[in-house]
Each structure stands twice: as C-alpha cells, then as structure tokens.
Chain A
Amino acid sequence: MKDKIFKILLLSASCLILLLTAGVIYALISQSISAFSEFGFFGFISSGEWDSQNDVYGALPFITGTLMTAVLALLFCIPFSLSVALFNGEYFRGRKIATVVSSVVDLLAGIPSIVFGLWGFYVLRPVLIDMGVNAQGFGVLLASIVLAIMIIAYASSLSTEFISMVPNELKEGAYSLGATNLEVIRSVSLPTAWSGIFASYILALGRALGETMAVTMLIGNTNNIPQSLADTGNTMASLIANQFGEASGLKLSSLMALGLLLFLITAAINFVAKNVMKFVSR
C-alpha cells in the first residue's frame, strides 16, 4: 500500500514538472507570436534594429552578444578548468592539496553573480582601462573574462569526476609499458574521459549563455552588434532584465521572443552535447 502511494507521489511530481515546462514553453510561444508575425521569424533574428520609438525590434545584436560572450568565456576558461581537473583528478588525486583546491573552486560556483559583477566593475575594469582596451573598460572582453571565472567551477568539478573515474587498470597498463605521467594523461585519461569532459563544458556554456546580472553590469548595455572584443554590446538575458519593466505591446512580445530564442539556443546546445556524448561513448 505504502509502496503504491509512493509510486503515485513520484509519478505526479514528475508529471507536474513536465506540465510546468510545457506551460513555460506555451507562455513564451503564445506571447511572442505577435512579434514573430510582425517581423517574421527570420526577419526578427536577422535584424539589427532595436528601436522603441518606431516600434521596430530585431534580435541580431543580442544573439551575437550572447554567443560572443559565452563562447569567449568558454575559451578563456578551458586552460584553467582543464588544469584544475587534471591537478585534482590525476596528479594529486586523493591528497589533501586536491581537497583544498577543489573546495576553493567549488566556492567559486557558490559566489552570487552580483558579487562577480561588482568585482569586475571595481577591480577588473580599471585594469582593462590601464591596458588601453578602451576608454571606459566596459565591453565584450570584460564580460567574457568575468563569465569565464564564473564558469570555471562548473567545468572543472565535473571534469575532475570524469578524469578520476578512468579505470586504474588502463593507466597502470600504460605505466607498465613505460609511459610517463604526461603520456598517460594524453593517451589514456583524456581520451577515456573525453565525453564526460565535453559534457561538463557544455554545462558551463549553458550557464554562460543565461548569465544576466554580472553581464548587465559589465557589457555596457548598448544595443549594437559588437564589432570587436573591445566594443560594448548587450546579451539577450541582459536586455530582457533591463527592459521588461516598462515594456508593453510589441516590445514586450519581442522580449518574450528573445526569451524563447534563448531557450531554443540552450536546448539546441544541450541536444548537440547529448548526441556528441552518445557518438563518442559508442
């Protein structure tokens, strides 16, 4: 009897989650329809205009800004997160120093994004100004660097798990053939853990795509397509956060459409990641 109740409880909980997701998607689609029918789907995503006066909205600057910052952040974070993962999962696995490093990295994941934003605003920005990146420091580069630091924890902690899960027999076999530490990592650990490492970077990318607060504080919030790393820009999440309060009518619908696009991009990336993992692990 108790078993049955538990089963029903679980079933209804998971159905509820399915319903919630469906509800969110339904709301996004139904509210963004008027923007898409006004500008056309491809018209909307390929237009660079965001003009409240004339009620003309296009998503291209924000799609560009979002992808640019997220991909850059991912590139910046790879060397750090990969070395942290190898340090903790391979070289110093199980030692005290590894526990210290991994808990510090996990701490990074726990820091609220507004704190990263503040740090970027008051500490990193003056450094970029001194380096002569641009006159005010804000822009794609600043946002990407801070995003990279934010996602290091996500990328590295999962990668560590996967690297340390590589069977010892494989590595011992390689060592017994006279392989050095580096050779074992290059030809045994990394190839075996590859799909897991890839998955953890996709997770990190997803986090970078949706990050809002820190980006809003650092990217400059200008509605143009960034031409260089030093240029200011805006991301989809940041624009929505900035403008939803006073938006109505077509503008609100366009913001909803942006939300839907962000959802689709994240879903597409997850889909690709899953298939790559399947493909590799086969």
Chain B
Amino acid sequence: MKKIMKKILFFAIAILSLSACGFNTDNKLSGSGATFPQPYYKIIFKDFTLATSNDVNYNGVGSGGGVRNLKDKTVDFGATDVFLSDDELKEMGSDIIHVPTALGAVVLSYNLDGIKDLRLTAAVVSDIYRGVITQWNDEKIKALNPDVNLPDLKIIPVYRSDGSGTTYVFSDYMSKADENWKNSVGTGKSLKFPAGVGISGKGNPGVAGLVAETKGSIGYLGSEFALAVNMPTALVQNSSGNFIEANSNSISAAANIDMPNDTRIMITNSSNPDAYPISTFTWIIVYKEQGYNNRSEAKAKVLVDLLNYIISDKAQEVAAKTHYAPLSKVAIEKTKVNINSITFDGRPVSAIKIGDDER
C-alpha cells in the first residue's frame, strides 16, 4: 500500500514539474471574449504561432466577459463585438486601443420550401418581430416579392435567448432603420419582444437549429455561421434602397465610409450604396500602456506583432475564406496608427527591437 502511495506521489510530482517546464508564461499571449470571431481567430492565431513560435490562447466567453477579463487584467487582450462606450472606457482605468480585426454581418435566415432570395426591409422585419405581420402571404411581404409565391403559413420569428453581440448589432440596425422598433424594442444585447411572439434559442447554433427545424420560421444569425452552413438568407434593403445579399464584398463595402480615428463606430445602415446594411466590426481591445502588472517588454512586443499580423493581408485573406469580410482600407490605415501608439513604460512598443530584452 505504502509503495503504491509513494509511486503515485512520485508521478504527481513528475507531472507537475514537467508541466512547469512547458509553461513559458512570458511570451504566451492569452485573450478572451466574443464567440462571433472565434472560428477566424482560431485559424489566424494558429498561423501566428507557426510563424513566430509564440503561443496565443483564446477563450470564447462572450463580449462582456472579454471586457471584464481585460479590466481584471487576467488576459492580454479582450475581444468584443460591441465597442466600449465612453463610460465603459473610463471604468477601464487607463487608455484602451480598439483594433478592428474583421467584419461580419447579421443575416436573416428563413425556412420556406423552395423560396430563394427573399427580399425584406427593416420595416417588414420589425413588423414580423413585433407580431404585426403574422402570415407569410401578408400584403407587405408580397409587395416586396412580387415574383415569389408566398405560402399561407404562420411566421415564427426566432431570436437569441442569451445576451449576445449578434443581437446588439441586429437591434442597432433595426433601431436606426425603423422608428417603431426604436420606440418599442430598442437596442441591446438581449431584447424584450411582445409576449406570445416567437421562440428563442441559445447561441447561433440554437437559433439555426430552430430555424432549420421549424417551417415558416425566420431568425437572425451571425453571417459566419449562416453562410458556413449554407442557410438561405434574405436580401435586405440598405439605406440607398438597394436589396443586398450578405457576402464578403457587400459586408466590406459597409466599412468603406468615414470613421473616427479610434474606429469606434457601428457601421450598420451604412451609407455606401453597395453595402449590406447589418454589418459590423469585431474588435480586439488592449491597454495602450502595456507596462502593467510586471509584464515584460517582450510580451508587449509579441502582442503588437500579433495585432499587426491580424491586419496584414495574409490574415485578412483568412477572414474572407471563413465567411467574415476583410477590413476596408480606411479601417486598416487608422488601425495601423493606433497600433503604433501602443507604449511600454512610455516608449512606443513598435520601436522596441527584439533581443535587447531578456529574450
């Protein structure tokens, strides 16, 4: 008995010391936040690790969690689908840099046999989700789709049961484009719909499952999810009156507009005539001053390298391939300036040469 105990103890110590060796905490970056860009981050972080042999660990805990973790300084970067408000920025303690990493969109996916390219406007979507339009063959939907044979079927709107950036982006667009929505439902990470209207599911997979299994349903989904699994999506009328399909080009076009230098902008209802109107940036957020919590200079340098890698052509190509959209030129120009302003103990990190540190 004693012998066995000794053996177990020995193994436990051996495993502990082994894992301690493997832990190169110094240059290992960790981040957490939005689940929306996670499939994209997974690929580019792996590519970055292969190219530089610096590990990047990312946990999809939701936008709110990412912001909280960065604030608690338990991660090196946070990721969020919703930029920080002025109040939230103040709560963070010191300056925050927003780095847009890609564009995404929220698409309206529906379950109607044999009907492709359904056309919708914000007003009609608003009526559906507020229980005003209840049948697919409603005159208002017919008027938008004269060539489509719409069935006499009850519409079942599907929404997210959990708080999410996807819901925020969707409701931000709806509030901008439809007065009724703005006054009754509003903008937020989770919404309150009239009682008895629709059903809800957890996460994109939950909503997608409900839509796929329920005849006559319509739901809003992250484009990266809906396009990857080839769900039918509606063409949505943009601010110029054009009905636009969500794809890499139309989503990128939404960001081809004037924007503030810190890139904190919701690009929903974009003024660009080719833009898909429910498009959004997704951001990584970091502290502008990296010299906190005894972090090393080398780590700050790796973080800046990672950010520069994300806005490089190579990573942006991955964005397009994984059903996100690459950043517009304007966004990349502004972000470069922002990344260059990151400092370590007051000195710009981009000027630090690797090698003069402990590495």
Q: Which residues of A contact B210 (CB under 8 A)?
A: 136
Q: Which residues of A contact B68 (CB under 8 A)?
A: 248
Q: How far, in angstroms, from A20 to B45 measured CA to CA in the complex?
A: 39
Q: Do B156 and A246 have beta carbons less than 8 Å apart?
A: no
Q: Which residues of A contact B201 (CB under 8 A)?
A: 221
Q: Which residues of A contact B197 (CB under 8 A)?
A: 222
Contact of A243 among B63, B162, B214, B216 (CB under 8 A): B162
B190 within 8 A of A: yes
Q: Do B190 and A243 have beta carbons less than 8 Å apart?
A: yes
Shortest CB–CB separation between residue A10 and chain B, in angstroms?
Answer: 20
**Contact (A220, B200) CB under 8 Å given A136-B217, A245-B65:** yes
Q: How far, in angstroms, from A247 to B190 measured CA to CA in the complex?
A: 10
Q: Do B163 and A223 have beta carbons less than 8 Å apart?
A: no
B348 within 8 A of A: no
Interface string of B55-88 (1 = CB under 8 A from A): 0000001111100100000000000000000000
B188 within 8 A of A: yes
Q: Do B163 and A231 have beta carbons less than 8 Å apart?
A: no
Q: Do A52 and B199 have beta carbons less than 8 Å apart?
A: no
Q: Do A216 and B202 have beta carbons less than 8 Å apart?
A: yes
**Contact (A52, B190) CB under 8 Å given A136-B199, A222-B200, A245-B61:** yes
Q: Do B195 and A222 have beta carbons less than 8 Å apart?
A: yes
Q: Do B216 and A52 have beta carbons less than 8 Å apart?
A: no
Q: Which residues of B contact A222 (CB under 8 A)?
A: 193, 195-200
Q: Do B63 and A246 have beta carbons less than 8 Å apart?
A: yes
Q: Do B188 and A245 have beta carbons less than 8 Å apart?
A: no
Q: Do A232 and B199 have beta carbons less than 8 Å apart?
A: yes
Q: How far, in angstroms, from A247 to B161 measured CA to CA in the complex?
A: 12
Contact of A221 among B64, B200, B213 (CB under 8 A): B200
> Which single residue of chain A is at the shortest CB-CB distance from B164?
A246
**Contact (A224, B195) CB under 8 Å given A52-B163, A243-B162, A246-B63:** yes
B residues 200-235 with Cβ under 8 Å of A? 200-202, 206, 209-210, 213-214, 216-217
Q: Which residues of B contact A52 (CB under 8 A)?
A: 163, 188-192
Contact of A138 among B154, B163, B195, B199 (CB under 8 A): B199
Q: Do A53 and B162 have beta carbons less than 8 Å apart?
A: no
Q: Do B63 and A136 have beta carbons less than 8 Å apart?
A: no
B273 within 8 A of A: no
> Which single residue of chain B is at the shortest CB-CB distance from A246?
B163
Q: Do A223 and B65 have beta carbons less than 8 Å apart?
A: no
B residues 179-197 with Cβ under 8 Å of A? 186-193, 195-197
Q: Which residues of B contact A121 (CB under 8 A)?
A: 209, 213
Chain B, interface SS category: loop
Q: Do B161 and A53 have beta carbons less than 8 Å apart?
A: no
A279 within 8 A of B: no
Q: Which residues of B contact A246 (CB under 8 A)?
A: 62-65, 162-164, 189-190
In the complex, how many residues of chain A place their beta carbon closer than 8 angstroms to a beta carbon of chain B? Answer: 29
Shortest CB–CB separation between residue A55 and chain B, in angstroms?
Answer: 10
> Which single residue of chain A is at the shortest CB-CB distance from B216?
A135
Contact of A50 among B63, B164, B192 (CB under 8 A): B192
Contact of A245 among B162, B192, B209 (CB under 8 A): B162
> Which single residue of chain B is at the shortest CB-CB distance from A238?
B161
Q: How far, in angstroms, from A248 to B188 measured CA to CA in the complex?
A: 13
Shortest CB–CB separation between residue B9 and chain A, in angstroms?
Answer: 19
Q: Do B196 and A221 have beta carbons less than 8 Å apart?
A: no
Q: How far, in angstroms, from A274 to B154 measured CA to CA in the complex?
A: 49
Q: How far, in angstroms, from A243 to B68 measured CA to CA in the complex?
A: 16
Of the candidates A52, A138, A217, A222, the one having the most CB atoms from chain B within 10 angstroms of its own CB is A222
A51 within 8 A of B: yes
A242 within 8 A of B: yes
Q: Which residues of B contact A138 (CB under 8 A)?
A: 199
Of the candidates A50, A135, A231, the one having the most CB atoms from chain B within 10 angstroms of its own CB is A135
Shortest CB–CB separation between residue A170 and chain B, in angstroms?
Answer: 48
Q: Do B213 and A122 have beta carbons less than 8 Å apart?
A: yes
Shortest CB–CB separation between residue B199 and chain A, in angstroms?
Answer: 4
Q: Do A224 and B196 have beta carbons less than 8 Å apart?
A: yes
Shortest CB–CB separation between residue B174 and chain A, in angstroms?
Answer: 13
Q: How far, in angstroms, from A241 to B188 measured CA to CA in the complex?
A: 19
Q: Which residues of A contact B195 (CB under 8 A)?
A: 222, 224-225
Shortest CB–CB separation between residue A39 and chain B, in angstroms?
Answer: 16
Contact of A247 among B154, B163, B209, B216 (CB under 8 A): B163
A residues 64-118 with Cβ under 8 Å of B? none
> Which single residue of chain A is at the shortest CB-CB distance from B161?
A221
Q: Which residues of B contact A216 (CB under 8 A)?
A: 161, 202
Q: Which residues of A contact B198 (CB under 8 A)?
A: 222
Q: Which residues of A contact B61 (CB under 8 A)?
A: 245
Shortest CB–CB separation between residue B225 and chain A, in angstroms?
Answer: 17
Instruction: Add 19 more A-B contacts to A136-B199, A222-B200, A248-B68 (CB < 8 A).
Output: A52-B189, A52-B190, A52-B192, A53-B186, A53-B191, A121-B209, A121-B213, A125-B213, A135-B216, A220-B200, A221-B201, A221-B202, A232-B199, A243-B190, A245-B65, A246-B63, A246-B64, A247-B64, A248-B64
Would you mind naming 19 contact pairs between A and B with Cβ atoms under 8 Å apart?
Answer: A52-B163, A53-B186, A53-B187, A53-B192, A135-B156, A136-B214, A221-B200, A221-B202, A222-B196, A232-B199, A241-B202, A242-B202, A243-B161, A243-B163, A243-B190, A245-B62, A246-B162, A246-B163, A246-B189
Q: Which 8 A-B pairs have CB atoms at the shortest separation, nearest pair first? A: A246-B163, A221-B161, A224-B195, A221-B200, A246-B64, A220-B199, A245-B62, A242-B161
